[in-house]
């Protein structure tokens, strides 16, 4: 493996962060975007306005209905103790349509125990996918995907500050230019894969704050500081106090910059000028805070030291961004070393591409494949016969009816299954008392049986050794005692050996007698405990018949329960069954949705094609000759003539229309005319800025950590 001697980066890492790498390893000049060509800004603005038309919360309706559905579900589950509020981009108006749905669940009374688990269970019953519980986070969260709409959802618990900061962001987003600027930064960050806090980059929320900071710092400011002045509005959360005051009055900016101009300034600022080691992003302050004063200076290793394996320690305050209400919360806390390198790479990349006159589309080229709508919504319909399209619509409509029938029957089946499930749960509840009674009997029976067993063993052990009954032993003892204590007949004395034998026989009888008594006692106790045991067995049997009675009564009332094994395992089976039904229902719903969408698209095309008469040639007809000639036309020249009112040929008109009219200059053509980029290059000031940073160690030679 070849490792760079200067940076320590492997070839793979060099390829992963090429712009950053070239700045770290060589002394190349960092471009400046302070003097960008005017024409370039005009073109970029046109491009941005096209993108803005495409992005937007196309799933707003799905979000609303999912929010309603989940609210109802959670309120039913927590008996109206629950309060559900949406926050994040679905309320701020800052959604690109690709973001998640953020919901906050709070409780009017006491928070139920094991709440995440309960929510996860509920969602599972609903057939939601990829359910994850994150209980250890500062704000506990359940994440999942709604199988019907495909929306990713975060339900966070008691996330009160998020509700307030979303409200404030909504205030900032009231201004069209502010909203569109933030949307473009989110668009760039999302397509370049640097907006996932979960994976070690910055959250969309953090990018929103950075964007607002930039707009507050332009001259004159584009965005106000909504937390300045005014009265404090303190709230308390878990013993901490937060000032959530937020001035929502409209703000008139004197700044005339366009979105493109603001965006180039943004990259100029954050790629090179912003000293992340000294400055903290703070929209509450309206400008950067001093990191030293805030005690948020970067500590720990540099990202480069971590990715090259020189350190395994933790980084702190790598790109400090202060939460507007929770001033102790640094949003870069989640950024990992690789994430920090990638963010810096993206800043450098954007800076370079902008300075080379590349389009905004190039700068935002997706790093991963994204499911995008085709440029031409009707591309596959243009050459089709209207009658055959109508025929297709009819077929699809018939299919929709079938899918609806399937949904209806699945819903009924699921309903039945759920009703039975509730019934089963109820039944098990009713028999629970009997069962708990049985449990306590069993709890007593277990030690009793062990004792009985023990006694039986003691008794039988003794009896095995001593076969003679106690009474006989006693008689024998009396006989021996008499014989041993009788008067001595001097003429007939026993031998000493015989006398010794009699004594030991007597002692043995004594020991046998003791053991025999023990055995008798064990037997007595055994008998007593057996009787007790029998009594317990009887009551146990009784509980069985009691349970049977309860069940019989229930089956009598609910004949559907007949033949079902009433056991917790059965409940689980029914539960799984209901979940399966839900999943099938979801699949059918999305089929229906797809079909309806396609029907709508074809109908729209038929309307356009028939009413305006602009249907393109049918498959069987010949293509128009002049279309082929369009590429030979110099489109920019034609466009310029068109915008200044000049005349042009039919050929040129066709080329112009096929390239999207006056506004749609393709980037390739733009660069091929080269005059603009040439102009830009010659006008570019030589920059003395260096790469920041912490990502890169080119902090300036003096500050270098090397």
Which positions touch ligand CTP (CB under 6 A)?
Answer: 87-89, 92, 94-95, 99-100, 102, 161-162, 165-166, 169, 203-205, 208, 331
Contact (CB, 8 A) for 270 and 185: no
- Residue 162: which of Mg ion, ligand CTP, none does it interact with, CB under 5 to 8 A by kind? ligand CTP
3-state secondary structure of 384: coil
Q: From the list ligand CTP, Mg ion, none, which binds 166 (C-beta under 5 to 8 Å, kind-based)? A: ligand CTP
Q: Could you tell me if 166 and 91 are in contact, meaning their C-beta atoms sit under 8 angstroms apart?
A: yes
User: For residues 94 and 105, which CB has a smaller minimum distance to ligand CTP in the complex?
Assistant: 94
Contacts 24+ apart (CB under 8 A), 94-98: 94/169, 94/173, 94/179, 94/182, 94/183, 94/186, 94/204, 94/208, 95/56, 95/57, 95/60, 96/55, 96/56, 96/57, 96/183, 96/186, 96/187, 96/190, 97/55, 97/56, 97/57, 97/58, 97/59, 98/190
- Could you say which of Mg ion, ligand CTP, none residue 205 binds, taking C-beta under 5 to 8 angstroms by partner kind? ligand CTP
Using rule CB under 5 A, residue 346 touches Mg ion: no
Look at residue 546 and give its three-state secondary structure: helix
Stretch that binds Mg ion, among 80-88, 397-405, 492-500, 695-703 (CB under 5 A): 80-88
Closer residue to Mg ion in complex, CB, 8/193? 193
- Report the distance separating Cα 486 and Cα 48, nearest Å: 130
Closest CB to Mg ion among 47 and 102? 102
Q: How buried is residue 683: exposed, middle or buried, by Cβ count under 10 Å (0-12/13-18/19+)?
A: exposed
Minimum distance from CB of 239 to ligand CTP (Å)?
Answer: 19
Residue with smaller CB distance to ligand CTP, 186 or 349:
186
- Which of residues 244 and 656 has its CB atom nearest to ligand CTP in the complex? 244
Helix axes 60-77 and 115-125, enclosed angle (nearest 10): 120
Nearer to ligand CTP, 89 or 149 (CB): 89
Cβ distance 444 to 536 under 8 Å?
yes
For residues 630 and 616, give the distance between their C-alpha atoms in angstroms, rounded to a whole number. Answer: 16
Q: Which does residue 262 touch among Mg ion, ligand CTP, none (CB within 5 to 8 A, set by kind)?
A: none
Nearest approach, Cβ of residue 251 and ligand CTP (Å): 20
To the nearest whole angstrom, how small is the minimum distance from the Cβ of residue 50 to ligand CTP? 21
Q: Which of Mg ion, ligand CTP, none sits in contact with 692, Cβ below 5 to 8 A by type?
A: none
Instruction: Report how many helices (DSSP H) and strands (DSSP E) the chain contains, helices first.
Output: 25, 9
State in angstroms the smallest separation of the CB of 643 from ligand CTP. 36
- Work out the end-to-end distance of the chain between its first and last CA atoms, rounded to an integer number of angstroms: 23
- 411 phi and psi, to 5 degrees? -65, -40
What is the nearest approach in angstroms of Mg ion to the Cβ of residue 88?
A: 4
* Beta carbon of residue 137, minimum distance to ligand CTP (angstroms, whole number): 10
Element holding 510 (H helix, E strand): helix 496-557
Closest distance of CB 324 from Mg ion, Å:
17
- List phi, psi (to 5°) of 227: -115, 10
**Cβ-closest position to Mg ion:** 88
User: Which position among 88, 324, 693, 696 is part of the footprint of Mg ion (CB under 5 A)?
Assistant: 88
Closer to ligand CTP by Cβ: residue 95 or 201: 95
Q: Tell me which of Mg ion, ligand CTP, none is bound by residue 165, counting a contact when its beta carbon lies within the kind-specific cut-off of 5 to 8 angstroms.
A: ligand CTP
Choose the one of Mg ion, ligand CTP, none that binds residue 21, judging by a C-beta under 5 to 8 angstroms depending on kind. Answer: none
Listed in sequence order, the residues at least 6 apart from 39 whose beta carbon sits closer than 8 Å to its beta carbon are: 676, 679
Q: Which of Mg ion, ligand CTP, none does residue 635 bind (CB under 5 to 8 Å by kind)?
A: none
Name which of 100 and 247 has its Cβ closer to ligand CTP. 100
Is residue 162 a contact residue for Mg ion (CB under 5 A)?
A: no
Tokens of 503: 């004594």
Task: Name the binder of 518 from Mg ion, ligand CTP, none, CB < 5-8 A by kind.
Answer: none
- In the bound state with ligand CTP, the residue whose beta carbon lies nearer, of 268 and 330, is 330
Sole residue written with tokens 């603001």: 262
The residues pairing with 85 across neighbouring beta strands, listed in sequence order, are 104
User: Which residues 93-132 are close enough to bind Mg ion by CB under 5 A?
Assistant: 99-100, 102
DSSP bridge pairs for 82:
107
Distance in Å, CB of 81 to ligand CTP, minimum: 23
Nearer to ligand CTP, 242 or 581 (CB): 242
Q: Report the nearest approach of Mg ion to the CB of residue 67 (Å).
A: 13
| Rounded CA Rg of the chain | 42
Number of residues that bind Mg ion (CB under 5 A): 5
Ranked by CB distance to ligand CTP, the top (closest) residue is 99
Q: By C-beta, is 54 or 628 nearer to ligand CTP? A: 54
| CA proximity to 182, closest of 173, 171, 193, 191 | 173
Residues that bind Mg ion (CB under 5 A): 88-89, 99-100, 102
């Amino acid at each position: 493996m070849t490792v760079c001697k200067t940076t320590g980066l492997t070839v793979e890492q060099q390829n992963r962060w090429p712009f950053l790498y070239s700045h770290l390893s060589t002394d190349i000049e960092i471009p400046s975007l302070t003097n960008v060509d005017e024409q370039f800004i005009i073109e970029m603005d046109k491009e941005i306005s096209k993108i803005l038309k495409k992005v937007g919360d196309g799933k707003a309706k799905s979000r609303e209905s999912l929010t309603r559905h989940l609210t109802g579900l959670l309120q039913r589950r927590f008996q109206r103790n629950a309060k559900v509020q949406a926050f994040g981009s679905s309320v701020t108006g800052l959604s690109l349509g690709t973001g998640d749905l953020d919901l906050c669940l709070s409780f009017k009374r006491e928070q139920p125990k094991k709440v995440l688990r309960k929510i996860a269970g509920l969602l599972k019953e609903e057939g939601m996918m990829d359910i994850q519980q994150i209980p250890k986070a500062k704000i506990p969260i359940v994440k999942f995907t709604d199988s019907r709409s495909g929306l990713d959802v975060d339900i966070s618990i008691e996330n009160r500050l998020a509700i307030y900061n979303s409200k404030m962001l909504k205030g900032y987003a009231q201004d069209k230019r502010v909203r569109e600027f933030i949307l473009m930064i989110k668009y760039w960050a999302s397509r370049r894969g640097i907006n996932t806090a979960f994976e070690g980059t910055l959250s969309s929320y953090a990018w929103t704050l950075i964007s607002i900071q930039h707009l507050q710092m332009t001259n004159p400011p584009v965005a106000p500081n909504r937390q300045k002045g005014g009265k404090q509005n303190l709230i308390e959360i878990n013993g901490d106090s937060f000032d959530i005051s937020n001035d929502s009055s409209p703000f008139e900016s004197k700044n005339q910059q366009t979105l493109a101009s603001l965006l180039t300034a943004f990259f100029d600022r954050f790629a090179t000028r912003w000293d992340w080691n000294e400055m903290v992003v703070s929209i509450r302050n309206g400008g950067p805070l001093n990191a030293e004063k805030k005690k948020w200076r970067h500590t720990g290793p540099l990202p480069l030291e971590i990715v090259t394996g020189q350190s395994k320690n933790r980084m702190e305050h790598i790109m400090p961004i202060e939460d507007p209400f929770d001033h102790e919360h640094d949003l870069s806390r989640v950024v990992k070393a690789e994430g920090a390198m990638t963010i810096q790479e993206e800043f450098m990349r954007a800076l370079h591409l902008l300075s080379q006159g590349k389009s905004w589309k190039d700068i935002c080229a997706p790093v991963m494949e994204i499911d995008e709508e085709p440029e031409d919504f009707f591309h596959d319909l243009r050459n089709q016969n209207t009658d055959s399209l109508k025929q297709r619509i009819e077929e699809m409509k018939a299919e929709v009816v079938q899918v609806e029938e399937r949904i209806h029957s699945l819903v009924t089946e699921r309903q039945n299954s759920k009703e039975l499930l509730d019934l089963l749960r109820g039944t098990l509840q009713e028999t629970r008392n009997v069962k708990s009674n049985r449990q306590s009997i069993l709890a007593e029976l277990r030690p009793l049986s062990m004792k009985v067993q023990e006694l039986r063993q003691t008794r039988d052990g003794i009896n095995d050794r001593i076969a003679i009954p106690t009474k006989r032993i006693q008689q024998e003892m009396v006989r021996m005692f008499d014989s041993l204590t009788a008067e001595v007949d001097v003429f007939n004395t026993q031998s000493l050996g015989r006398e010794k034998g009699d004594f030991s026989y007597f002692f043995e009888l004594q020991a046998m007698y003791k053991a025999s008594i023990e055995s008798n006692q064990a037997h007595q106790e055994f008998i007593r405990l057996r009787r007790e045991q029998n009594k317990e067995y009887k009551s146990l049997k009784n509980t069985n018949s009691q349970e049977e009675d309860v069940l019989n009564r229930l089956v009598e009332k609910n004949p559907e329960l007949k033949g079902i094994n009433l056991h917790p395992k059965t409940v689980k089976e029914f539960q799984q069954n209901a979940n399966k039904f839900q999943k099938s229902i979801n699949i059918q719903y999305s089929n229906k949705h797809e079909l309806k969408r396609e029907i709508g698209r074809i109908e729209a095309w038929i309307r356009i094609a028939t009413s305006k008469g602009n249907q393109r040639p049918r498959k069987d007809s010949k293509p128009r000759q002049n279309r082929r000639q369009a590429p030979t036309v110099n489109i920019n020249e034609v466009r310029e003539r068109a915008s200044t009112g000049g005349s042009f040929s039919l050929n040129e008109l066709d080329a112009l229309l096929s390239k999207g009219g006056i506004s749609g200059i393709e980037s390739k053509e733009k660069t091929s005319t080269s005059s603009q980029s040439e102009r830009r290059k010659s006008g570019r000031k030589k920059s003395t800025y260096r790469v920041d940073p912490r990502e890169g160690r080119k902090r300036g030679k003096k500050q270098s950590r090397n």
